[in-house]
Structure 1
Amino acid sequence: MRYRSRIADQELELRLESFGATLIVGPKGCGKTTTAKQKAASVVELQDEDKRDNYLAVARMQPSRLLEGPKPRLFDEWQDAPKLWGAVRKSVDDEQKNGLYILTGSTSREVETPHTGTLRISTMKMQPMSLFESGESDGAVSLKALFDDPSSYDGCISKLSVDELIVAICRGGWPHAVNNTSLRSQLAVAKDLFRQTCSVDMSNIDGQKRNPRWVEAILRSYARNLCTLAETKTIYGDVRATAELSESTFYDYLEALEKLYIVEDVLAWCPAIRSKTAIRASKKRNMVDPSVAVAALGLSPAYFNEDFKTLGFLFESLCMRDLKAYSSALGGELSYYRDRYGLEADAVLHLGDGRYALVEFKLGEGEIDEGAKHLLEIERLVSEHNKKEKQVPLRLPDVKLVVTATEYGYRREDGVCVVPIGCLKP
């Protein structure tokens, strides 16, 4: 099967150029091993049943023997032989070369290592596929180009229909699902991932037995509160309605879901452009991929013919997923802004060089004006802040962006760029 190029390809190249070894982490099924194999000169697959016993015996007695081979050398499922971590670390120290090893493995098993690997083993996080990687975004609009010169943007036309977008939300960015040919086989992948997370992975991650029904209840509550600022105690109260678990157990389960990269909350951006007490600093609830929320709620594409409100939250989650992937290629990170007066930016994309974009996600054409109004008001507040706080000025937003599910993209007279998600790329 043809390999679909990933945004992570270039980041992995940089890590191999910069460090002796690279550990790739991320949710189960996002394509970590397949991506690693594209850069590896040799591979040790510890789950190859024909060779597994021999590999594990060598790893126990003399792990350095497994390091012999063309470089970069990939160790898949390295957690099955924990001594490899120390052997790789020592080899990097001894050889003083970069690009020697790649480590991948299941996130459903946590391994304690005697050494951190700092400055020797670099950790790279992968996301599920974005719409650009799956081929559903034509990439007509570059996020980097918008930052470099937003005035050069003169519009675009998206070929991604709402029905196709709904399927992409329900299917998710899982490479196996993207490569499946029938709709039912595509949708089956996220459902199976959800079931495996609840019944297997949650107990395997640290060997602690956990109740699958309680996991399901937590993920359903998260799905119902997706892309909201629901307090943790609110989610716990919601879960308690159907599951008799203690608060400490609830927090333990939540931590395990974060370690599995299933739950991925978004942090707040808190500039002092209003009174500090007015800023909402709680996390925005989110999952690594909207398909997990769809599976948790037991929904199908046909359901969204009548429920556009839920679709709006799932669309925001999909946009967050894609912007995380795109921003990683630009060395950026994602947050959100909202204050108690209702002023918001669904996302704030900060680049490493200090530039940032204010972003709103709007499903339909009728919501674009409202989104643009929010972004312009935040820009005005930053400008007013700078007049009062001249010694500590805040940078004005470099890009004001409304990401939509509509057909047409354009640049408004007020400078706000309207871009369909079906046209965006890094």
Structure 2
Amino acid sequence: MRQAVDYLPRRATDLVTEALDDTRIVIINGARQTGKSTLAARCLGDRPDTVKRYLDDPRTRASAETDPVAFLDAPGTMLIDEVQRVPELWLAIKNTVDRDPRPGRFLLTGSARLLGLSTLPDSLPGRSETIELFPLSQGEIRGAPDGFIDAAFSEGNRLRVSPSELRRRDYSNIAACGGYPEAIRRSAPRRRAQFFKSYLDDIISRDIHQVADIQRHSDMRRLISTLAAQTGGLLNYSRLSSDLGIPTSTIRDYIGLLELVYLIRLIPAWSANGTTRAIGTPKLIFNDPGLASHLVTGITNDATTGGLIETFVLGELVRQVTWSQSMARIHHYRDRDQYEVDAILEDSAGRVVAVEVKAAETIRTDDFRSLRALQRRIGDRFHAGFVLYCGDQQLPFGDGLSCLPISALWTTGPTE
């Protein structure tokens, strides 16, 4: 069986199985082709009396639409795949778990941020837990620990990482492969390009069509390509509107849809009492750097390469946040004095680990300018600051500051 040979274990497995033990409804949310269905089926394992319903099957979908209550009748856990395809199920699921509050009643998967869909009649506060599934992390692909965030909060400036043999070209190639399982299986760049082309067609014609009526698909495609060329940068609605000749209100709606179907992610701005000059504009990244790289094929300049490597690093951090024991939240920082930090990781105690990304193989003292400014402004809350770069070794750059190879993201294991 090819699936069994090629399957790469997901870190979300433990999150899902733990949630099924104490939560009535568990939702696996994520983009198409990230392996949600496979993960859900594996998480059910040997649970007794499970029932699996796949709403991509027209007959199954018709049954769910016709009689939602009878459709949900099952003695054990019911898996409903692509649940956003039948919004009528939502109230029936809510009523079912209210009558019978046993944990693990439903395991749902969806290719959109379900609770953000306007077609859903009600939310499920206190009844559900949502676990986001992103494209594969480098640790999942390589069998590496993926423990940078937890290690950074545990060790701070005492963190020590291994040297790396990877360089800028290597990181660019890794980013271009992305993390979709099907893309990784295709070793030939031409075949990966065909996957990304078909994937984007499906996103526009199927996923977005399920949640909104887009009249001008060509405008959506132009927007996606433009965003790919700017991935890793601040989101400027007015500039996009001017460049594309599309109303700002439409740009906002389209970007909301792209985030809803997990094509992109907005990294919110961070501020604190000590940083009152912070700017609140979010940063935009593609959830898969391979898709962004495909969309900018033929555009070769330092800005595009830098944006893709930053997107790659931020994407790895976003993935780790979902399983990190530190319960950290990810933001970016920029202020009116032109100090900017690519990633701010803040834990529940208010401690900050700050990360800058440099697509260079060497590091200068000036590369720590923004980290030092942030360190001065927030004082003791500043736990550690790192510049992740395309070089080979870790080097200290003053109190609480050091540069690390980008590969430290996945080669570093969490400490006790």
TM-score, normalised via structure 2 length: 0.86
Distance 1:186 1:108, change over 3 A: farther
Name the aligned partner's letter for residue 292 of structure 2: A
**1:329 Cα offset (Å):** 1.4
Alignment of 1:254-273 (within 5 A): 254-273=255-274
Q: Kindly report structure 1 stretches of 4+ aligned residues shifted beyond 6 Å.
A: none
1:142 aligns with 2:148: yes
Contact 1:368 1:402 in 2 (8 A): no
Q: How far 1:16 moved relative to its partner?
A: 2.1
Deviation at 1:47, TM superposition (A): 4.3
TM-fit CA distance, 1:58: 6.1
Q: 3-state SS of the aligned residue for 2:342?
A: strand
Report deviation, 1:203: 2.8
TM-superposed CA distance for 1:62, in Å, is: 5.5
How much does 1:346 deviate?
1.0
Q: Secondary structure at the match of 2:39?
A: helix
Cα distance between partner residues in 1 of 2:53 and 2:241:
40
Aligned equivalent of 1:388: none
Deviation at 1:102, TM superposition (A): 0.6
1:370, distance to aligned residue in structure 2 (A) = 2.7
Q: Is the 8 A contact 1:108 1:205 kept in 2?
A: no
User: What are the residue-to-residue correspondences of 1:135-174 with 2, within 5 Å?
Assistant: 135=142, 138-139=144-145, 142-174=148-180
Q: Which amino acid aligns with 1:23?
A: I
1-structure distance, mates of 2:231, 2:61 = 43
Q: Distance in 2 between matches of 1:214 and 1:58?
A: 34
Q: Residue 423 of structure 1 is aligned with which of 399, 408, 414?
A: 408
Letter in 2 for 1:310: T
Equivalent residue number for residue 281 of structure 1: 280
Q: Distance in 1 between matches of 2:310 and 2:61?
A: 45
Correspondences of 1:12-411 after superposition (within 5 Å): 12-40=16-44, 41=47, 42-47=50-55, 49=57, 52-53=58-59, 56-57=62-63, 60-61=66-67, 63-71=69-77, 73-107=78-112, 112-135=119-142, 138-139=144-145, 142-206=148-212, 208-240=213-245, 245-274=246-275, 276=276, 278-297=277-296, 299=297, 304=300, 307-330=301-324, 331-367=327-363, 369-383=365-379, 395-411=380-396
Backbone CA RMSD of aligned residues: 2.7
The one-letter code matched in structure 1 to 2:162 is C
Amino acid paired to 1:294: S
Of the structure 1 ranges 259-268 and 156-165, higher mean CA displacement relative to structure 2 is found in 156-165
Q: CA deviation at 1:416?
A: 1.7
1:353 CA drift (Å): 3.5
Specify the SS of the correspondent of 2:233. Answer: coil
Shift in alpha-carbon separation, 1:368–1:102, aligned structure 2, 3 A: farther
Measured against aligned partners, the alpha-carbon deviations of 1:160-190 in whole angstroms (never above 9, x if no partner) come to 4433322222221112212334333334323
Deviation at residue 127 of structure 1 after TM alignment: 1.8
1:108: Cα distance to partner?
Answer: 9.7
Cα offset, 1:273, TM superposition: 2.7
* TM-score normalised by L of structure 1: 0.84
User: How many Å separate the matches in 2 of 1:54 and 1:338?
Assistant: 49
Matched residue SS, 2:37: helix
C-alpha displacement at 1:310, in angstroms?
Answer: 1.4
Distance 1:349 1:263 in 2: 19
Quote the sequence identity (%): 23
CA distance in 1, matches of 2:146, 2:252: 43
The CA distance in 2 between the partners of 1:226 and 1:343, in whole Å, is 19
- For residue 215 of structure 1, report the CA deviation from its aligned partner: 0.7
SS in structure 1 at match of 2:283: coil
Aligned partners of 1:226, 1:358: CA distance in 2, in Å?
Answer: 20
Q: Partners in 1 of 2:122 and 2:187 — Cα distance? A: 44
Give the Cα–Cα distance (whole angstroms) in 2 for the partners of residues 140 and 53 of structure 1.
41
* Alignment deviations for residues 29-86 of structure 1 (CA, whole Å, 9 cap, x no partner): 222222212212435232475xx52663366236345441443x31112234434333
Unaligned runs of 5+ in 1: 384-394
One-letter code aligned to 2:311 = S
The answer (yes or no) to whether the contact 2:23–2:128 under 8 Å persists in 1 is: yes
CA positional deviation for 1:413: 4.7
CA distance in structure 2 between the aligned counterparts of 1:186 and 1:45, rounded to whole angstroms: 30
For 1:79 and 1:382, locate their aligned partners in 2 and report how far apart those are by CA, in whole Å: 43
Aligned partners of 1:117 and 1:233: how far apart in 2? 36
Distance 1:368 1:190 in 2: 37
Superposed displacement of residue 322, structure 1: 0.6
Are residues 268 and 54 of structure 1, via their aligned partners in 2, closer, same or farther at CA, if it must alter by over 3 Å?
closer
* Residues 93-127 of structure 1: per-residue CA shift (max 9 Å, x gap): 22322122110133399572333121112222222
Q: Distance in 1 between matches of 2:250 and 2:286?
A: 20
2:203 maps to amino acid: T
**Contact 1:346/1:359 (8 A) holds in 2:** yes
5+ residue gaps, structure 2: none
Counterpart Cα distance in 2 of 1:204 and 1:399: 44
1:405 positional shift: 2.3
More displaced stretch, 327-336 vs 79-88: 79-88
The 8 Å contact of residues 348 and 356 in structure 1, kept in 2 or not, is answered as yes
Change (3 A) 1:289 1:57: closer
Assess, with a 3 A threshold, how the Cα gap between structure 1 residues 205 and 334 changes in structure 2: closer, same or farther.
same
CA distance in structure 2 between the partners assigned to 1:314 and 1:364 by the alignment? 13
Q: Is the 8 A contact 1:273 1:382 kept in 2?
A: yes
Count of residues paired in the alignment: 399
